[in-house]
Amino acid sequence: MAHEWDRLMRRLYLELKNQRLYFFVPPFVLFALVPLSVLAGPQGTDPSFSQCVTLSQLFIPSFAAWWPLFVLKEYHSSPARELLVVHRSSRAELLSRMISLWALYVLLAAVVFVYFASLFGRVWYLFAAVAAQSMFMIALGYSLSLLLQNTFIPLIVNFAYSSIFMLAVLDSPLNIFTIGTFSDAGSLVKPATVAAVAIVLLLAGYQAERRLYTRSM
């Protein structure tokens, strides 16, 4: 089991390393873009928690799918894509990789939220919501990329979804984002639903992943 874990982490490390400078886009968004944007309030106003709510949900979930989609690109568009899925031991590795990347991303986001907590007090309901939304975006990217056999369209869909539902259509039932105060446990109802939908999408993606191996064998 420990050997399996080491092997998974080793492959994940190599795949992230393979992204070279593009790997640093999500950390840049998390550690520079989001905190600075929150601090720079609109037209000279002080930073506010509502600004933090908006910008965290706008940027953090949309860039959550960055690493996963860039990893998945190797499985759909690289010259060695056939080789990557022929080994029996490879089964469900993509799903475990998606979950690992989500965990890593949420861990980094937690550092940013520690900083936000020092500014605004209780931000942990918002953090839970952002973690669920990030999981949803990763699950959406994972299932779509396996369904469509490419990563370009899931990338466009990812940013289109975030832009449309965070910037334009706020009150749709299809919207995973919430414009609220995130002040009590009641604000976790929607994120819990989002997490459940994300799990369904991950499972759907996993079924597609298994078919991918069957076809390749």
Partner 1 sequence: MRLYKHSLSVFLRDRKLSIPYHGVLALVLVMSFCCLGSYSRYDDVFSAVRWWLARPVIFIIAFFIYCGYELTVRMHDNDMVEYVRAHTLGLLKAYSAVLFSLLTIVAVPSSMFFAFFLFLYQRVGVQYTPFLVHLTKLSVLYFGLSLAAGAMLGMAMAARLRSNRLAVYTLTTGFMLLNTTFTDAPFRVPHLVFNSYLVERALYYVKDFLTLVPHQLGSYFAIYPIYGFPMEPVRWVVAVFWVLFPLTLVLVECFTRRIRRALLVASALLLLLGVGLFSVRGSVLAMDMRNDSYAYADPIYYADRLRQDYAGYEAGFAIEAYRMDLTVSNELHAQVHVTVDNPGREGYEFTLYHGYILKSVRTEGGEIPFTREGDYVSIGGLNGSDTLVFTYHGKSPKFYANAQAITLPGYFAYYPKAGRSNIWDLDRYGYVVNLPPYESVYTVKVRSGLKVFCSLAGGDNGFHGRSNGVSLFAGMYDEVAHGIYAEPMRSDQPTRESILEAEQILTDAFLRVGHPDMVIALSDKKFLQTPASFALNSNTDNTVIMSDHIVSSSAGAQGLACSIMTSIVRPKSAGDFWFRTRYLSYLLRGQDETSLALQSEVDTSLLLEEMEEWLLLPDPRANNMTEQERAGYLAAKRRRSELERAVSEKAAKYLFYESARKQENLRFFFDYFTSESTEDCLQLAITRVREELGP
**Which residues contact residue 29 at a Cβ distance below 8 angstroms, ignoring those fewer than 6 apart?**
59, 60, 63
Of 50, 152, 172, 193, the residue at the interface with partner 1 (CB under 8 A) is: 152
Rounded CA-CA distance 94/85 in Å is 10
Which of 2, 168, 174, 217 is in the footprint of partner 1 by CB under 8 A? 168
What is the smallest separation between the CB atom of 39 and partner 1, expressed in angstroms? 6
Angle (CA) 214-68-56 rounded to 5° is 145
CB-based contacts of 171, cutoff 8 Å, min separation 6:
none
CA distance 193 to 169: 19
Given 103, 111, 160, 196, the residue binding partner 1 (CB under 8 A): 160
143 binds partner 1 (CB under 8 A): no
Residue from the set 30, 51, 97, 135 that interacts with partner 1 by CB under 8 A: 51
Which range touches partner 1 (CB under 8 A), out of 83-91, 106-114, 142-150, 209-217?
142-150
* Burial letters 84-103, b for 16+ CB under 10 A, else e: bbeeeebbebbbebbbbbbe
Structure letter (DSSP) for residue 45: P
Given 6, 13, 27, 40, the residue binding partner 1 (CB under 8 A): 40
Helix (H, G, I), strand (E, B) or coil at 92: coil
Task: Closer to partner 1 by CB, 94 or 195: give it.
Answer: 94
Q: What single-letter amino acid sits at 197?
A: V
179 near partner 1 (CB under 8 A): no
Say whether residue 163 binds partner 1 (CB under 8 A).
yes
Residues of this chain that bind partner 1 (CB under 8 A): 19-20, 22, 25, 33, 36-43, 51, 55, 58-59, 69-70, 73, 77, 79, 148-153, 155-156, 159-160, 163-164, 167-168
